[in-house]
Amino acid sequence: MKYIVCEKPGEFQLKEKEAPTRQAGEALLQINSVGICGTDLHAYGGNQAFFTYPRILGHELASEVIEIDENERGIKAGDKVVVMPYVSCGECIACRNGKTNCCTNIKVLGVHADGGMQEQITVPANILLPANNLSNNEMAIVEPLAIGAHAIRRADIKKGETVAVVGCGPIGIGIMKLAQIAGAKVVAIDMNEQRLAYAKEQIGVDYIVKAGEQAVEAISEITNGDLCTAVFDASGNKFALEACPDYMSHGGRFILVGLSKGELTYTHPKIHAKEMTLMCSRNATTEDFEHVISVLNQFPTESFITHQVHFTEMIEHFDSWLKPETGVIKATVSFN
């Protein structure tokens, strides 16, 4: 079977190997589609944390079961399934407390272990969710939306809140829509005017604000001086991350969803005066995946996926997905 491996930063190779053999407790899957996310882009660019090479990328997977044992979810051969790509140990302090998303021994497909950029893959059967009612495109975006759902749940967003989401990439857009579904008013913040327009026109956010020196003033005007009770960073950009507390109300929450590799600096009196709650949000749990699947009909999947190519053409197109000027929001790779 064919697979694509990232041998080192900036280099993909299309190769062939024997198809995998399923072990007890595993499922053998046919990959139908793979979503390309920021993790893949950063890994290719050589700036992804927790990463080693060579690696088969891909953790946003639309797949179909070829072989599986009897299981508690009733999944059988021929079923379409969503893959939760976080393999947790089930024994550490995080797992014992139901936080499998930040297991101390976590292995994420496509990051710590080889992912789905291959025609077939074996995975633990317990990380599969039935998805016979979803299209391949819908299945391929459940995982990034689940990251947003987890962040919304971490922040305990309530109906009527005004929240800011910094970064109109795929994760940020997911947070925006899920915050709306939770009943919040949403302020989208980004430097890219094309993506701000998408957030307004396709996601239907209440307000858009261009990042920069006038952003705080604009948000203050929108909120009658209150600012936002929750601010989500989905950019991972150092300057954006350090600006986020300025958008937050007194008594508010700052939720770090995007990942930055470097150090961040905050003026303590400024964040202390606001009694800021700082929280990180990592990955997602079964509950978050199930929530996304239940509300996916409210998400504009077809406009969200802006670029789609066949598996054999991915390498020649990948560089273009690093460039905002191509208009890419979400790219997917099809195996059909």
Fold classification of 2-132+300-334 (topology level): Quinone Oxidoreductase; Chain A, domain 1 (3.90.180)
- Please list the residues that pair with 231 across neighbouring strands: 164, 254
Q: Are 277 and 254 in contact (CB under 8 A)?
A: yes
Domains of the chain, by residue range, sit at 2-132+300-334, 147-280
**pLDDT value of residue 286:** 96
Closest among 25, 41, 23 to 170, alpha carbons compared: 41
Rounded to whole angstroms, the Cα distance separating 271 from 49 reads 27
CATH number given to 147-280:
3.40.50.720
Q: Are 123 and 30 in contact (CB under 8 A)?
A: no
Rg (CA), the chain: 20
**pLDDT value of residue 48:** 74
Is this prediction's pTM over 0.75?
yes
Tell me how crowded residue 22 is: count the other CB atoms within 10 A of its CB: 17
- The reply to whether domains 2-132+300-334 and 147-280 share a CATH topology is no
**pLDDT value of residue 46:** 85
Rounded to whole angstroms, the Cα distance separating 328 from 248 reads 29
* pLDDT tens for the 336 residues of the chain, in order: 999 999 999 999 999 999 999 999 999 999 999 999 988 998 998 877 668 899 999 999 999 999 999 999 999 999 999 999 999 999 999 999 999 999 999 999 999 999 999 999 999 999 999 999 999 999 999 999 999 999 999 999 999 999 999 999 999 999 999 999 999 999 999 999 999 999 999 999 999 999 999 999 999 999 999 999 999 999 999 999 999 999 999 999 999 999 887 899 999 999 999 999 999 999 999 999 999 999 999 999 999 999 999 999 999 999 999 888 889 999 999 998
The beta strands (E) that lie in the chain are given as: 2-8, 11-16, 26-36, 60-67, 80-83, 86-87, 107-108, 120-124, 128-130, 162-166, 185-190, 207-210, 228-233, 248-256, 277-280, 305-310, 330-334
Lookup: tokens for 136: 């391949």
- Please list the residues that pair with 334 across neighbouring strands: 33, 310
